[in-house]
Each structure stands twice: as structure tokens, then as C-alpha cells.
């Protein structure tokens, strides 16, 4: 039996601005002592009545300012009625549901009374249908929108031509959400799109919940930023200052493209559950940091580290995420593409702890409830519509084998669709898998290797496969999707790195490793043998976003050389991160990962110049003229 979410949402909240009880000048705004009702259902022409202590209320000439806390429109109203202990104002014909700072405005002065929540109801005569426990209207500028999916995570209904929905819900999640239709956007609270609302009444009691959308304009061409694994932990490894550089880069990207339609999706592990308690850094703190990005909605995906370690099982561990960030699976239409977010982490731990994450057990699996909802969602999606699915854990491993426990069950849900793309994270590495109409981008990490390499060497924040920390950019034109990996702090055409194996020799002493030199030598021997240079005139090329359709071409004095795949470890990651770890503690930490996107070529001499050309699957060409010998050092690659 699933447990219910326990949201604490008051039906009536009294907000006031209290001061001393002595009689003061009526023009003194500090003297106000006003009570306002919240939450409140309002309609066009609705007269909102508030009360105050005698002599402590507004003046008839004051204005009411409802200042949006959701990034929406502000509303200013005149006082329509004023008594000895009450006053009223009238809601206009166009209004948006949301949270507002209720303010009294007098001349140039403003006084905040507190936060109110107003739910704007278009049709006051609407009643719940038989069996419906949640009902309402989805509208835009006072007009209902037909054909919009509304769900509680189990059932899906569609609005009629007037925008009305009737949902038979057991309210297990204690929220309902809509699949935002193409051409519209939900209001935002910072970066969070408000396509969901929480229920407040008992499961058997019908309640009305309306959704208000904005017209978004033409989304046929749009861009999506896929943001994997941030692992923010409240200052560990200077994560927040490094993250600020990332948010600055995204903000600049937005300002450089002011007319573009740009959206974001996280890929899970925005936080790090172990540090929710020890460093008091959780979702509120994450939102404060990522809200440095202005003017872009970012849809959230739950990861294993976004589950509460101070809870057990799969349901309770996700409660805090649902309260702070919203549904853990849902869908949205942008332009001609259907985007789906799924939860593919099933927590199985039976022990709760606030200090020890080692007990955490979970399966990488999309649970049956999610699968059942997904099948219902896809009934509303044409087989010709491109579908992009965001999850945390990957469907396939880098060799193309199943990684997700129920990969085949999940993929079978998309049988017959022309194009399905999974975009995943979790591994902090990059690989691309193609299986017929199904493609997967395991897309790397914003934090690289948990911010460690960037902590030791600020310009070289690498992941375990040698890829730079970064994110995926998907440019959509109609039904055509273009994709590439963008390294944070570098141009988009930085897509590979070369190593001259003749000059590559990592000596522990050169990196200050003394106490643990023996263990370090042993590590180097077993992980690439980079503690000794080669004389074979070989060059290694790490092409981190390599996939089907990519080519690597190398010429020497006009002669093309054979290039072979060489699964191996990235030496720069070892130099930047591993050597620093051995120097400080002898710890292996997050060791390097053997990657399939490393290639090898053999030159005819140790001093020849190589022309290297990498072409991606969309025809973009990246080049390097590699003059050899090419020194291997951290400074070489800064």
C-alpha cells in the first residue's frame, strides 16, 4: 500500500503587519494591521474583502498591489469599499492564478502585508461530475483550452472544448498536473514551470483546481538544454562557485539569443542527499543557486541522490522532491516534439540515516506505476511525433547492452514511433547508442567528477572519461533534432583532445606525490601505463561525444593513417584529479573510467605534424593541426 503525501497547506492563513497598540498618525503605514484570506478562489468581478483593526486600515485613496511571486503579471486595484474595520477591491476580468505579495500602495510608498494565493476561476457555475474528485478549467486569457491532458500520475483525462476537465482521483500524490500543450507555457516560479498544483482536501471531497497558461508563440524552432548531475552540496569542492560560472554561461547564452525559444531539463542528482543534513543544502538552496538563470524554464528530473536518505523505500524517499520540485514523472509538448520525464530510480533501502549514504540501495528501474502512466500518455501522441525522454539512469551501457533493469519493457512502450531519444545522466560520462528508431544520449555531468578536478585545477574540470564538465544542447527545427555536447567554459567546437604518447609520462614526483608514490606508481601501471612514455609514435584522440555516423580522419604529410578504436583511460583526468588525490591522501577517490570514445593512430615518426579532422553525425567538422612532439602537462591543456 502506497503512503500518501502529507502536505501542510493551510485553508486559511491570517497575515498581518503588527506594530504597537498605541494610536498613531493614520498616514503612518507602519500602523497597518490587516488580515487577508488565503488561499482564495476568485472570479472576474469578484469582490475581495479584508479586515483590519479599527484605525489601522488603509485610506480610501490607497491602492492594492498584487505583486506576482511566480514571475507573472502584477495587478493594481483601487479600493472599492471601505468600512470601520473592512475594505474591498474587485478582481478584473483578466487575472492569473498564483502567489502574490499583497501590498498597500500610498503615494510612492508600499507596505507588504504578506503572501496570498489566489486561484482564478473562469466559470463559476462549474460543478464536479459524478465520480470526479478534482475538476476545473485550463484556460488562457479567460478562454478555455480544449484537448489538454490532466493527470494525477495514475489517470489521464482531457479537457473538453471549453477547457473543462473532470478527474476521478484518489489523490495519492496529492497533486495534479497538466501536459502543457504546444504553443503555450505555464507560469513560472523562478526557473520552475508551474504545470502542477497540490490538492488540499480529503481524497473523497471534490475540489476545483484551475490552470492558467500563457501563449508562447511559435515553438516550431526551439532549443533545449539538457543539464545532468549537478551534485550541489553547499560548498564542498567549491561547488557553488564553480556552479556560478555555469549559470553565468547559460545566462549569457540566453542574452545572446533573446528571440529564441529556449528551455531546460535537468537529468537528476541536482543535489546530494548526504549533504541535505550535514551541510543543510537541499532543494531550496539548489533553487536559490540555479535561479541565477533568468528567463528560462527548467523542468526537473529526479535522480538517486534526490531521494531522502532519512527515509525508507521508494515512496517516502521521494516525498521531499515532490513537495519542493513537483511531479517525478510527467510530459510537456514544445513545438512538434513530445517531451517526457520519468523516474527510473526505485529505492529499496530499509534503513534511514542522516549521516551515512553507504546503506543506500536502489534499482535502476522504471516502476510499474510510471510505466502504466506512460502508456496512457502515449495514447495521446502520434507515432510520427518525435519523442524525447529524460531520465536519470541510462537505458543502455556504453557497449549497447541493457543497463536499466527493465530496459526492454520501457523501450517496448515506444514501438512504432518514428524517433525516440532518451537523454540520461547518472554515470558522469558520455556515450551515444543507436538502436533503430531508439537513440540514447548518456550526456555527461555539469559537475564533471563531482567538481573535484575543477577544485584542483579551475580551468580543467573533467569527468572520469576525460570529457569536460558540460551539458547537451538540442536544437529543434520542426521535427528535426540536432544535438551536441557543450563543454562549460569552452567553445562549442571543442569536441576532442589529443595526446602524443611518446611525450606522455606521468611521474608522481612531478605532481608532488611523495608519501604515496608507491601506490601511485602501481595505480598508473594498472590504469593506462602512463608512468612510462612510449616510443611507438602513437597518438591518442579522445572524442567524447562520439557516436554512430562520426568519423575520425588523420593525415600525415598528405597520407591518411589508419585510425582504430582504443578503449582506455584518459591521461589528463589522471593528471588533474588522481595525482592531486594521491598527493593529499593516497585515496583513489573517483577513479578514471575506461571509455569507448578513445582512438589511436600511429605516425611514421616522432616529429611529424598530424592533421586531425573529426566529423560528427550531422556533418560538423572539428580540426586540430597537431605539432609533435606535443608536451604532456596540465599547462598544455588549460
Delineate the domains of the chain, giving CATH numbers in brackets.
29-120 (2.60.40.10), 134-185+197-214 (2.60.40.1120), 218-487 (3.60.21.10), 497-637 (2.60.40)
**Cis preceding-peptide flag for 39 (omega within 30 of 0):** yes
What is the structure's pLDDT at 2? Answer: 46
Burial class (CB in 10 A: 0-12, 13-18, 19+), 61: exposed
DSSP 4: P
Altogether, the residues listed in the chain come to a count of: 638
Could you tell me the end-to-end alpha-carbon distance of the chain, in angstroms, rounded to an integer? Answer: 55
| 471 touches 256 (CB < 8 A) | no
Which secondary-structure segment (H or E) carries 447? none
Please give the Cα distance from 160 to 158 (Å, whole number).
Answer: 7
Burial class (CB in 10 A: 0-12, 13-18, 19+), 11: exposed
CA distances to 140, 304, 404, 410 from 365, rounded to whole Å, are 37, 11, 6, 9
In the block, residue with C-alpha cell 514544445: 334
| 308 touches 320 (CB < 8 A) | yes
Strands 420-424 and 430-435: what pairing?
unpaired
Backbone angles phi, psi at 486, to 5 degrees: -110, 120
Query: SS3 letters for 276-316?
Result: HHHCCCCHHHHHHHHCCCCCCCEECCCCHHHCCCCCCHHHH
In the block, residue with C-alpha cell 533568468: 294
What is the structure's pLDDT at 356? Answer: 73
3-state secondary structure of 579: helix
pLDDT in tens, 237-294: 999 999 999 999 999 999 999 999 999 999 999 999 989 999 999 999 999 999 999 9
DSSP string, 39-96: SEEE-TT-EEEEEE-TT-S--TT-EEEEEESSSS--EEEE--EE-SSEEEEE--SS--
227: nearest Cα among 464, 475, 479, 485: 485
What is the structure's pLDDT at 103? Answer: 96
Number of Cβ atoms within 10 Å of the Cβ of 51: 16
Please give the Cα distance from 465 to 203 (Å, whole number).
Answer: 49
What is the structure's pLDDT at 14? Answer: 43
Please give the Cα distance from 428 to 404 (Å, whole number).
Answer: 16
Please give the Cα distance from 454 to 314 (Å, whole number).
Answer: 33
Name the packing angle between helices 283-290 and 239-256 (round to 10°): 40
What is the structure's pLDDT at 37? Answer: 86
Percent of the chain's residues with pLDDT above 70: 96
Please give the Cα distance from 148 to 229 (Å, whole number).
Answer: 31
Tell me how far the alpha carbon of residue 572 is from its chain's centroid.
29
| 255 touches 452 (CB < 8 A) | no
Cell of 355: 549521516
In the block, residue with C-alpha cell 542574452: 255
Question: Hey, what's the torsion of the CAs at 175, 322, 139, 340, to 10 degrees?
Answer: -110
Burial class (CB in 10 A: 0-12, 13-18, 19+), 151: buried
| 85 touches 51 (CB < 8 A) | yes
CA distances to 76, 143, 147, 515 from 214, rounded to whole Å, are 20, 11, 16, 62
What is the structure's pLDDT at 94? Answer: 82
Residue ranges in the chain whose pLDDT is less than 50: 1-23
Backbone angles phi, psi at 586, to 5 degrees: 75, 10
Q: What is the spatial order of strands in the sheet that 337-341 belongs to?
A: 330-334, 337-341, 387-390, 420-424, 438-443, 430-435
Strands 192-193 and 98-106: what pairing?
unpaired
Amino acid at each position: 500500500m502506497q503512503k500518501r503525501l502529507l502536505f501542510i497547506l493551510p485553508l486559511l492563513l491570517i497575515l498581518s503587519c503588527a506594530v504597537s497598540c498605541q494610536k498613531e498618525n493614520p498616514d503612518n503605514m507602519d500602523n497597518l494591521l490587516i488580515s487577508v484570506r488565503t488561499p482564495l478562489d476568485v472570479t472576474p468581478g469578484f469582490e475581495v474583502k479584508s479586515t483590519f483593526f479599527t484605525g489601522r486600515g488603509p485610506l480610501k485613496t490607497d491602492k492594492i498591489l498584487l505583486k506576482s511571486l511566480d514571475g507573472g503579471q502584477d495587478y493594481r486595484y483601487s479600493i472599492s469599499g471601505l468600512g470601520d474595520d473592512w475594505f474591498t477591491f474587485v478582481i478584473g476580468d483578466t487575472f492569473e492564478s498564483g502567489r502574490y505579495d499583497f501590498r498597500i500602495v500610498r503615494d510612492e510608498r508600499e507596505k507588504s502585508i504578506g503572501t496570498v494565493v489566489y486561484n482564478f476561476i473562469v466559470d463559476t457555475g462549474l460543478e464536479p461530475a459524478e465520480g470526479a474528485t478534482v475538476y476545473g478549467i485550463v484556460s488562457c486569457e479567460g478562454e478555455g483550452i480544449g484537448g489538454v491532458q490532466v493527470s494525477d500520475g495514475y489517470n489521464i483525462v482531457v479537457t473538453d472544448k471549453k477547457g473543462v476537465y473532470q478527474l476521478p482521483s484518489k489523490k495519492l500524490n496529492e497533486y495534479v498536473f497538466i501536459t502543457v500543450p504546444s504553443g503555450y507555457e505555464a507560469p513560472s516560479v523562478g526557473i520552475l514551470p508551474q504545470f502542477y498544483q497540490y490538492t488540499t482536501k480529503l481524497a473523497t471531497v471534490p475540489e476545483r483546481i484551475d490552470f492558467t497558461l500563457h501563449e508562447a508563440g511559435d515553438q516550431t524552432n526551439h532549443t533545449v538544454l539538457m543539464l545532468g548531475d549537478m551534485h550541489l552540496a553547499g560548498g564542498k569542492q567549491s561547488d557553488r562557485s564553480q556552479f556560478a560560472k555555469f549559470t553565468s554561461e547559460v545566462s549569457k547564452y540566453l542574452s545572446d539569443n533573446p528571440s529564441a525559444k529556449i528551455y531546460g531539463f535537468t537529468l537528476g542528482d541536482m543535489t546530494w542527499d548526504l549533504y541535505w543534513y550535514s551541510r543543510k543544502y537541499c532543494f531550496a538552496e539548489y533553487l536559490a543557486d540555479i535561479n541565477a538563470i533568468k528567463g528560462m524554464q527548467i523542468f526537473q528530473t529526479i535522480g538517486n541522490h534526490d531521494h531522502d536518505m532519512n527515509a525508507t523505500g521508494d515512496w517516502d524517499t521521494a516525498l521531499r522532491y515532490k513537495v519542493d520540485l513537483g511531479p517525478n514523472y510527467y510530459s510537456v509538448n514544445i513545438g512538434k516534439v513530445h517531451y517526457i520525464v520519468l523516474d527510473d530510480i526505485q529505492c529499496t533501502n530499509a534503513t534511514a540515516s542522516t549521516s551515512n549514504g553507504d546503506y543506500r540501495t536502489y534499482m535502476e528501474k522504471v516502476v510499474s506505476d510510471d510505466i502504466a502512466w506512460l502508456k496512457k500518455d502515449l495514447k495521446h501522441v502520434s507515432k510520427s511525433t518525435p519523442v524525447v525522454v529524460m531520465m536519470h539512469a541510462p537505458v543502455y551501457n556504453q557497449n549497447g547492452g541493457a543497463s536499466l533493469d527493465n530496459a526492454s519493457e520501457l523501450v517496448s512502450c515506444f514501438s512504432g514511433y518514428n524517433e525516440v531519444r532518451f537523454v540520461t545522466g547518472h554515470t558522469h560520462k558520455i556515450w551515444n547508442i543507436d538502436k533503430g528508431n531508439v537513440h540514447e544520449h548518456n550526456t555527461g555531468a555539469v559537475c564533471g567528477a563531482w567538481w573535484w578536478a575543477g577544485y584542483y585545477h579551475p580551468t580543467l574540470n573533467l569527468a572520469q572519461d576525460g570529457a569536460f564538465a558540460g551539458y547537451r544542447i538540442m536544437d529543434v527545427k520542426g521535427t528535426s533534432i540536432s544535438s551536441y555536447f557543450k563543454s562549460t567554459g569552452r567553445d562549442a567546437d571543442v569536441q576532442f583532445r589529443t595526446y602524443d604518447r611518446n611525450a606522455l609520462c606521468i611521474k608522481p614526483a612531478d605532481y608532488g606525490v611523495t608519501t604515496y608514490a608507491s601506490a601511485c606508481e602501481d595505480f598508473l601501471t594498472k590504469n593506462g601505463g602512463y608512468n612510462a612514455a612510449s616510443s611507438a609514435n602513437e597518438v591518442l584522440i579522445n572524442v567524447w561525444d562520439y557516436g554512430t555516423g562520426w568519423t575520425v580522419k588523420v593525415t600525415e604529410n598528405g597520407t591518411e593513417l589508419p585510425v582504430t578504436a582504443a578503449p582506455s583511460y584518459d591521461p589528463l583526468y589522471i593528471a588533474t584529479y588522481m595525482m592531486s588525490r594521491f598527493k593529499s591522501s593516497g585515496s583513489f577517490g573517483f577513479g578514471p573510467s575506461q571509455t569507448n570514445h578513445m582512438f589511436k593512430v600511429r605516425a611514421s615518426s616522432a616529429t611529424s605534424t598530424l592533421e586531425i579532422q573529426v566529423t560528427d553525425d550531422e556533418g560538423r567538422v572539428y580540426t586540430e593541426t597537431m605539432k609533435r612532439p606535443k608536451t604532456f602537462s596540465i599547462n598544455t591543456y588549460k
